Structure 1
Amino acid sequence: AAAMPPTYIPMKYALLFLLLASWLTACTQRHDDIPNEFWDSIALHDSVHLSDSLLQTGLQQAIEADDSLHVSMICFFQGKKLHQGYFLLRAQERYEKAQRYLPAQAPPRLRMELDIAQADLCRFNHFEKRENQLLDNAQQLATEQQDSLMLIRICLLRCQREKSKKDFARALDELHTAYRYAYAITPERRAELQAEMAVVHLYLQQPDSALLHLDRAIATQAGRQEYYHALRQGVRYHIARNDSALPYFRRIAEMFPLARKTDAYRYMAEVLNRRGQYDKAIDFLREHVRYRDSLDADKKAELLEKVHAIREYRKQQQQIEDSERQLTHRMLQVYRLAAVVCALIILWGAYYIYTRRRQALLNRDLMQAQLSKQEMEIRYLREQEAKEQLENAQLNQRLEYFKQLNEITIPLLMRSRNQAGALHLSPEDWQTLRNNTDACFDNFTRRLKTAYPQLSDEEIDFCCLVKMELPLAILAEIYHIAKGSISRKKMRLKEKIGITDVSFDDFVASF
């Protein structure tokens, strides 16, 4: 083992370094996984903290002024407020409204922000295909606008998504893509990117590469240098297989946010259990349960707070609506009485005029209906007569075809009988049969071969005999098989051609 490269040494406490990624991520992201620097660089988000009343007033003024751009922006701000409060359904409704009002000449940044916000909701709802489409749209627009900050932001979003799916190789590719635009960000953020690459390399069990990126982060002399040094020391403990890694994990884990700390202790308990270290696994599991209970209590308290806030908001809205309803009720009573009197007078006059005109119209419509009925009956009789004539003509033509074909084919079959009375058709006889069928049925064999090239020549010859509507007895005599075998042959050809809605005989007859 000592002769093996460090990358291939079994990791005694590899989970320590996998979980360090959580702290880096939590320290550099808000609710929607976007670094603080990028939020500070976008002027659109400066207004997200406006009150609901101001936003609603601005929205009403924008609608009255028919200003679709500002309607879209305000709806977007409202969606962000709801999104940050975890009112996801209402936030999605505001985003969709902002998308509907978005004009063609809208700022590209607003389009990208809308796509990213909706992609975050799709990630929450596990709509991966829709999320990819929205992020691709935002990335394409950012590339067209040469917006390096937005490109880095989108790459980081994709990286976090791939990490959540444990596809660390693709997450690393996204980080490398983001680093190509690192010239547009501060040294502190460049150091954070290098540290994030180091963490992903630890997920991939590549501690040497992780050390390389941590050295680059430390070389920037910016950002959280204490964290970078601590993480580098931990990687060295891992490579050296030092037993102090476990206490080191506890010290680092205390710096995690509560949710990530809970996952860290659970994951470490599972790893220690698989390694057979049951006592230590139980200790970590107890810590996990303790932190999980605290996390559940916080979530319940937050949920109750939001439920009470919604209930209070609805109560206030109901009180306002009741007050307005009482103020307008008395004013409407007088107008309603006057409106009822005027409406009665108008209705009486309108009814009188309507009945007189209705009577005249009914008489006229009755006469027109009688005339129309007679015309339709005459037209129907003519159509029936024409249809019967057409059917008779087609029947006569078909009979004539069969008469000609049978006059040609029956003598041919009779000549092909041997001394014992059995039918034996030669290749020349089959060719004559095909030529006769093509002559009587508009190149039947060529059309059939073109439409269904999978049919063999022998199967096309069989179709020619069926086209002539020869009985099963003659077909069985020609092929020297039983009648049941002829029926099975038809079923095989029906499946080969792909006939589903009609019988084989009807299909050949109508082809």
Structure 2
Amino acid sequence: MKYTLSLLLLVLYLTACTRPSNDMPAHIWDNPALYDTVSLSDEQLQQGLQQAMANNDSFHISLISFYQGRKFHQDYFLLRAQECYEKARQYLPVQATSRLRIELDIAQADLCRFNHFTGQETRLLDNALNLAIHERDSAMLVRIGFIRSRRYKSKKEFPQALAELHNSHRYATAIAPEQQADLQAEMAVIHLYMEQPDSALLHIRQAIATQAGKQAYYRTLCKGIRFHLARNDSALYYFRTIAEMFPLARKTDAYRFMSETLYHRGQLSTALDFLREHVRYRDSLDADKKAELLDKVHAIREYRKQQQQLEENERQLTRRMLQVYRLAALTGIIIILWLAYYIYTRRRQALLNRDLMQAQLSKQEMEIRYLREQEAKEQLENAQLVQKLEYFKQLNEITIPLLMRSRNQAGALHLTGEDWQTLRNNTDACFDRFTQRLKASYPQLNEEEINFCCLVKMELPLAILAEIYHIAKGSISRKKMRLKEKIGITSSSFDEFVAGF
């Protein structure tokens, strides 16, 4: 009946206002990407801090101190977390990005909320909001608005909480779909607190439409609101379903308040069932707290060991620095001696360089004379080569008339064996035993093919070749192609090969 909505609101209020426990990851708005690095071990963070201090890197000292504080904060070592946050703020450079300043303000505001320092918490959140506005950081504006909304909600100032969420919704396009869904779901819950189920149903449907985030929770809450609007007792079932989605501490408080509410409404048997559930979860919670307490005791002991280790490291560092100073003094003496030796060596080297330069000048003069002799020799060889080429041209001029005299009365060329031998002799004389080298390199060629190669070597026109062999010019080209395949020429034409052989 009517009490189903109040029961549902009660569990939602408990799950939303209770601080997150270690049984479940923190709220999506308290776990930005900046905190991914806190998965590093304490030893790794300490090593990074020591290296940053050795390099006098104030920004990384501030950043690592913030990570250490966040780690202590998550483990509820609040005093140590505050010390780390103060150290991070102390070393933060003036020119550093505003994102880390905002994160520090939010983290310290969370500590103030835990210690009930309301005024300081408000000041820190306002400072973070002003920095985010100045930097136009939409994601941080949404996150800070969400935090301020939960602050108002914990004080049951629901209109102000809803106003903060509406302000955050203006920047919703800059956040991930999961965060958009979470924002809509939170608006739905606040509408339920304000006894506006129709508006709550509208917002929870918008959260479901994103297809992101905790869809099982959104759909369950949507069904509970629908059953409430229909005045159906099944809303109690969805209360249990929603309660099971949250950590043990929240679940324990929810069942206790549900039992008290049902008791005051006269539902004694149902209240007793919820009370039994509360006792069962409380026993489990007590066992977990004992285990957590032992872990913290061990952590404190480990912290003390680390402090002792740090002190020992500082003593070792002092001894090492003394050794470094001694080594630096010894190095200075060695450098002075080395400089004296260097000056002496440079003077000797200058004398040697002068003698060497004179020797090099003499050598260069000899090389110049040698190059001139080589140049004269090359000029002589070039003149001999030109003379030889002229001789080759004269031989070709002799050979071509010889071929022309072999024409018969009909005008056709008929070379006799003696003519072919003369042609071969002229080719060998002009081109350094061409036929002998060709036969030795390609023994598969017959005499007629070698004679053909001689004609090509003498660069006779294609018309004369066709006239000598009494075939068409195209047949001469095909003959060249057959010889090219027989010899195995692949990288050039047959004429180029014969000309360069």
**What is the TM-score when the length of structure 1 is the normalising length?**
0.56
Q: Which residue of 54, 76, 91 corresponds with 1:101?
A: 91
> Which has more radius of gyration?
2
Q: What's 2:129 paired with?
A: 139
What is the identity percentage for the equivalent residue pairs of Structure 1 and Structure 2? Answer: 63
Q: Take 2:213 and 2:144, find their aligned partners in 1: how far apart are those partners?
A: 22
Q: Is the 8 A contact 1:79 1:95 kept in 2?
A: yes
Counterpart among 256, 260, 263 of residue 253 in structure 2: 263
The alpha-carbon deviation at position 23 of structure 1 amounts to: 5.7
Distance in 2 between residues matched to 1:287 and 1:122, nearest whole Å: 33
- Matched with 1:252 is 242
Aligned to 1:71: 61
Output aligned runs, 1:424-439, within 5 Å.
none
In structure 1, the partner of 2:28 is 35
1:29–1:154 CA distance, 2 compared to 1 (3 A): farther
The equivalent residue for 1:190 is: 180
How far did residue 152 of structure 1 move? 0.9
Distance in 2 between the 1:50 and 1:226 partners? 31
Q: What's the CA shift for 1:246? A: 2.4
Structure 1 contact 187–223 (Cα < 8 Å) conserved: yes
Are residue 15 (structure 1) and residue 19 (structure 2) matched?
Answer: no
- The structure 2 residue matched to 1:236, chosen from 216, 226, 238, is 226
Deviation at 1:21, TM superposition (A): 5.8
Return the alpha-carbon distance in structure 2 between the equivalents of residues 103 and 266 of structure 1.
Answer: 49
Shift of 1:150: 0.5
- Note the C-alpha offset of 1:324: 9.9
Amino acid corresponding to residue 287 of structure 2 in structure 1: A
1:169 to partner: Cα distance? 2.0
Kindly state the Cα deviation for residue 73 of structure 1 after the two structures are TM-superposed.
Answer: 1.8
The code of the aligned residue for 1:228 comes to: Y
Q: Does 1:167 align with 2:157?
A: yes
Q: Residues 188 and 314 from structure 1, CA distance in 2 versus in 1: closer, same or farther, beyond 3 angstroms?
A: closer
Cα displacement (A) at 1:287: 1.5
Shift in Å, 1:225: 3.5
Distance 1:250 1:38, change over 3 A: closer
Residues 191 and 200, structure 2, Cα contact 8 Å, conserved in 1:
yes
User: Residue 139 of structure 1: CA displacement?
Assistant: 0.6
Residues 229 and 22 of structure 1, relative CA distance in 2, 3 Å threshold:
same
How far 1:124 sits from its partner (Å)?
A: 1.0
Q: Distance in 2 between matches of 1:273 and 1:130?
A: 40
Which residue number in structure 2 is paired with residue 277 of structure 1? Answer: 267
Query: 2 CA distance for matches of 1:81 and 1:115?
Result: 16
CA distance in 2, matches of 1:122, 1:304: 26
Aligned mates of 1:103, 1:324 — CA distance in 2: 25
Is 1:126 matched up with 2:116?
A: yes
Q: Deviations over 1:68-99 (max 9, x none)?
A: 22222222122122222221111111111221
Superposition CA RMSD, Å: 3.4
Note the C-alpha offset of 1:245: 2.5
Q: Which residue of 1 aligns with 2:73?
A: 83
Contact persistence 1:116–1:134 (CA under 8 A): yes
Q: Which amino acid aligns with 1:295?
A: L
**Aligned-pair CA distance for 1:293:** 2.0
Shift of residue 29, structure 1, vs aligned partner: 10
- Paired residue type of 2:105: D
Counterpart AA for 2:6? A
Residue 205 of structure 1, CA deviation: 1.4
CA shift in 2, pair 1:117/1:287, >3 Å: same
- Quick one: distance in 2 between partners of 1:60 and 1:225? 44
Give the 3 Å change call, closer, same or farther, for CA 244–141 of structure 1 in structure 2: same
Question: Structure 1 pair 228/321, CA: closer, same or farther in 2 (3 Å)?
Answer: closer
Q: Which moved more, 1:231-240 or 1:65-74?
A: 65-74
CA contact (8 A) 1:217 1:228 kept: yes
Q: Distance in 2 between matches of 1:180 and 1:323?
A: 52
SS in 1 for 2:187: helix
Deviation at 1:214, TM superposition (A): 1.8
1:180 — aligned with what?
170
Q: Is the 8 A contact 1:55 1:78 kept in 2?
A: yes
1:457 alignment partner in structure 2: none
Q: Give the AA of the match of 2:304.
A: R
**Aligned counterparts of 1:295 and 1:10: Cα–Cα separation in 2:** 32
| Contact 2:204 2:222 (8 Å CA) reproduced | yes
Structure 2 runs not aligned, ≥5 long: 320-501
Deviation at 1:38, TM superposition (A): 5.8
Q: Deviations over 1:121-159 (max 9, x none)?
A: 111111111011111111100011110111111111112
Which whole-Å CA distance do the structure 2 matches of 1:324 and 1:69 have between them? 22
Q: How far apart, in 1, do the equivalents of 2:257 and 2:209 lie?
A: 32
AA paired with 1:173? A
Q: Does 1:154 align with 2:147?
A: no
Equivalent residues of 2:223, 2:238 under 8 A apart: no
Amino acid at match of 2:145: C
CA pair 265-125 structure 1, distance change in 2 beyond 3 A: same
TM score, norm. by length of structure 2: 0.57
Structure 1 147/276 Cα, relative in aligned 2: closer, same or farther at 3 Å?
same
Give 1:465's aligned residue: none
Size of the aligned set, in residue pairs, is 319
Aligned partners of 1:125 and 1:25: how far apart in 2? 15
Contact 1:34/1:153 (<8 A) preserved? no
